[in-house]
């Protein structure tokens, strides 16, 4: 006859212990809820980082344009070097282009590549005026939010 030893907690020595299906399902449900909460925040964080890279690219391109003007006394024939084509350079989330070229004016535009961005295009004029394309009639607070 086989005898089982009983521990102080009333468990048999050598008995199998593990997780029940209910316990595993509860853990999976909790992880799912945490992912559902965290993922949108993460995406927003990544978009803000990409937007910061676009802003930096626009400001660097503006400096290039100012240097061009100081040498040539006009913006009219300026073209941006290839390094400004996309930012960030390793991920290409925005393309930068120069437009509205005239002797004394230009507008730089950073356009999102393949994504929907809450600010749309970021713009920077020769005067330093900053702008966004979304919403279609942005307020000062919309512009400040996208450029901070």
Containing structural domain, residue 63: 21-146
CA distance 76 to 99: 10
Report pLDDT for 5: 61
Any domain includes 47: yes
Structural domain includes residue 99 = yes
| pLDDT at residue 2, rounded to an integer | 55
87 domain-assigned? yes
- 68 within a domain of the structure (yes/no): yes
Q: Is residue 3 situated within a structural domain?
A: no
Question: So what's the pLDDT on residue 122?
Answer: 93
> pTM of this prediction?
0.73
Whether residue 80 is contained in a domain is answered as yes
pLDDT value for 12:
60
Residues paired with 123 in a beta bridge: 109, 131
Number of structural domains the chain divides into = 1
**Which residues, given as ranges, of the chain have pLDDT below 50?**
none
Q: Determine contact, residues 115/96, Cβ cutoff 8 Å.
A: no
Distance CA(19)–CA(38), nearest Å, equals 27
């Amino acid at each position: 006859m086989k005898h089982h030893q009983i521990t102080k907690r009333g468990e048999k020595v050598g008995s199998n212990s593990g997780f029940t299906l209910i316990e595993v399902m509860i853990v999976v449900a909790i992880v799912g809820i945490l992912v559902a909460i965290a993922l949108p925040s993460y995406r927003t964080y990544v978009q803000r980082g990409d937007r910061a890279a676009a802003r930096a690219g626009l400001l660097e391109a503006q400096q290039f344009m100012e240097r061009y003007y100081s040498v040539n006394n006009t913006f009219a024939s300026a073209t941006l070097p290839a390094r400004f084509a996309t930012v960030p350079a390793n991920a290409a989330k925005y393309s930068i282009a120069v437009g509205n070229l005239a002797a004394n004016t230009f507008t730089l535009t950073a356009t999102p590549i393949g994504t929907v961005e809450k600010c749309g295009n970021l713009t920077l004029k020769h005067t330093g005026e900053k702008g966004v394309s979304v919403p279609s009639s942005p307020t000062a607070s919309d512009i400040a939010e996208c450029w901070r």
